[in-house]
Amino acid sequence: MSTRANARQAAGRRRNVEPPDPTGTTKERFGQLGSLLAFVRPYRGWMVGALAGVVVSAALGLVFPMIMGGLVDSALESAGSTGELDRIAYLLLGVFVVQAVFNYLRIYALDVVGEGVVADLRRSVYDRVVRLPVPFFDQRLTGEITARLTSDAAVVQATVSSSLAQVLSQTITLIGGVTLLIVLSPVLSLSVLSFLPLVIIAATVFGRRLRRISTEFQDLVAEANALADESIASIRVVKWFGAEADVINHYDRAIRDSYRTALRRARYRAVFVPLVTFVAFSTLALVLWAGGRLVLAGDLTAGELVSFLLYTLTVAGAIGTFTGLYSQLQEALGASQRIFELIGEVPEGHAGDAVEPDQRVGSIAYDGVDFVYPGRDLRVLDGIDLEVAPGETVALVGPSGAGKSTLTQLLPRFADPTHGTVSVDGVDVRLQDLESLRATMAAVPQETELFSGTIAENLRVARPGATDEELVAAASSANAHDFISSFPDGYDTVVGERGVQLSGGQRQRVAIARAVLADPRILILDEATSSLDAEAEGLVQEALDRLMVGRTTIVIAHRLSTVQAADRILVLAAGAVVEEGTHDELVAAGGLYKELSARQLLGPTTDAP
């Protein structure tokens, strides 16, 4: 099925474009962290409050074992008196209250930072994605791009909201706990600290592998999402050809691939966490055995042993938490790498300072234009020389693959020529400001692209500040006002995804009204009536005729009625202009144009013999 083939082909192209090793170098990892911290900077006030909460709550956590040890010794020495026990209990309660307050500060402040950073990150990614050149989207799946906005950003959010704070908290706990262990009993501390290097080495080895597998898993999930997006967007094609089982099976294979990778990640975690747990409890057993002997010998009090045991558990807990945090940070670095790859893409633009034409009149010139699609050894345009005067209508005809659409895509710089120059109003389009250049143009394609909002919102895409009266005037000019007014909600009618609630002719007339609002000097009509029935075609063609008046128009068409109205007709074949003239001249010449007419690719010709 084409959907599946396209997805597979696009995924392959994407892999060729994004080859970096997900483990990255140390310099790259620090660069990613630096880029991420740049998004934290606007929230540094909240971050300071969060860090204060982390430091105080972690420090108070270190007080608890010491108080508990004192409580045990006091109980053993009180000889029936409860005064000292009560004092220690109240002190312990006070510590818990203060710790709870600072925990609240920590949690709330970090949520503010995390939510803000992710919102800013998503805005930055979307801003960059929208500004990227059209060829970028030809090489990637839509679902793979949106996955970076959603799932990858969510991974980063979890890191900012909790993992970074946990790193600081557990660092304080680990350093403080180890220090207090040494103070309580240097001898026992040696038995505890001897296990630390083993845990650190294991964390480093497993963490690196976890990061690589996590990045691979995120890539596979993104590909599965892309397949789902594409098949859902083309659901009518899927159902028309009874291809439900095919797309389900293909998605199932993609999910199975990601599932197998997830299981590999789970196996690493399943080995790593029990290993650390075993080391921790083995250390605890050693402390109980050796510490008990010290208590019996009178070198350690029972309370000090209790405090040491609690600090041992605290240190072990910190190490265990670190192992989990390390894997989370590795996953976050993998996700942030994918996000910052998008942000690092070069947006479309012009070289140097923009050069503006003296006057926007709508003249067009192609000078020795060749075009070869990147990565494909196929020349689509070959030495095109063409001048279009302001207000002139030029039709492009020829067999499929002749280069007609590519020729028009060069005008708004959806692609740039491989050789030669394309000029609008006497200035190379590569030197002009893109926004200013595209503001002089509008297009009505064969497949109208509408957003899922209302008719009014779709019209205002061309001019956001347009008044209701201007919308009505544009729709009337496009023969759209009557059918829009017949809807209960009028211009507030929701058209559905891709305008599915409207008929083909209605969508085309909305697109024409949108072009009227844009008031372009240059108009591109890409087979705008070829998919319509006779009645709809008549209404659309009438609207197009009004729209074309006084504008430079390039028409890609198979319909004879549109071609006959053109001032000039260019016949393209294999990327070159092979014939040029009016309809009558080309039919009389008896070349490719007449042959195409005879095949009814252009419709019947009244002058054909």
Same domain, 302 and 411: no
The rounded distance, in Å, linking the Cα atoms of 57 and 232 is 49
Q: What is the mean pLDDT of residues 227-250?
A: 77
pLDDT score for 9: 40
Token pair in block for residue 38: 């740049």
Same domain, 402 and 272: no
The range of the structural domain enclosing residue 277 comes to 2-343
Same domain, 335 and 370: no
Domain membership of residue 106 (yes or no) is yes
pLDDT tens digits, one per residue of 57-113: 888 888 888 887 777 777 766 655 667 777 877 888 888 898 899 888 888 888 888
Domain membership of residue 349 (yes or no) is no
Domain membership of residue 353 (yes or no) is no
Number of structural domains in the chain: 2
CATH of the domain at 14: 1.20.1560.10
pLDDT score for 531: 60
Same domain, 334 and 454: no
pLDDT tens digits, one per residue of 442-458: 888 877 778 888 899 88
- Which of 343, 378, 396 is at the close of a domain? 343
Query: What one-character-per-residue DSSP string does 346-404 give?
Result: PPP--SSS----S-----EEEEEEEEE-TT---EEEEEEEEEE-TT-EEEEE-STTSSH
Determine the 3-state secondary structure of 417 from DSSP.
coil
Domain membership of residue 348 (yes or no) is no
The rounded distance, in Å, linking the Cα atoms of 538 and 508 is 12
Same domain, 40 and 94: yes
CATH of the domain at 577: 3.40.50.300
- Which of 280, 313, 343 is at the close of a domain? 343
CA dihedral in degrees (142, 146, 152, 158; nearest 10)?
-170
Same domain, 433 and 578: yes
Domain membership of residue 16 (yes or no) is yes
* Statement: residue 408 has pLDDT above 50: yes
Same domain, 49 and 181: yes
Helix (H) or strand (E) run with residue 157 in it: helix 151-158
Q: What is the mean pLDDT of residues 568-577?
A: 90
Same domain, 387 and 333: no
* Statement: residue 524 has pLDDT above 70: yes
Q: Which residue in the block uniquely carries the two structure tokens 């696009």?
A: 10
pTM of the model: 0.65
Task: Provide the pairing of β-strand 379-388 with 364-372.
Answer: antiparallel
Higher pLDDT: 432 or 234? It is 432
Same domain, 332 and 381: no
pLDDT score for 33: 63
Same domain, 149 and 21: yes
User: Is 400 exposed, middle or buried (CB count within 10 Å of its CB: 0-12, 13-18, 19+)?
Assistant: exposed
The rounded distance, in Å, linking the Cα atoms of 565 and 508 is 20
Q: What is the mean pLDDT of residues 418-443?
A: 90
The rounded distance, in Å, linking the Cα atoms of 455 and 173 is 60
The rounded distance, in Å, linking the Cα atoms of 212 and 163 is 19
Domain membership of residue 512 (yes or no) is yes
pLDDT tens digits, one per residue of 471-493: 999 899 888 898 899 999 999 99
Question: For 60-69, 394-403, 566-575, 580-589, which range has the lowest pLDDT when averaged over its residues?
Answer: 60-69
Determine the 3-state secondary structure of 304 from DSSP.
helix
Domain membership of residue 47 (yes or no) is yes
CA dihedral in degrees (28, 29, 33, 36; nearest 10)?
70
Sign for the pseudo-dihedral over CA of 305, 307, 310, 315? negative
Same domain, 393 and 288: no
Residues 6+ apart with CB under 8 A from 326: 203, 207
Same domain, 450 and 336: no
Domain membership of residue 50 (yes or no) is yes
Question: For 1-10, 116-125, 161-170, 216-225, which range has the lowest pLDDT when averaged over its residues?
Answer: 1-10
Question: Are 424 and 437 a contacting pair, CB within 8 Å?
Answer: yes
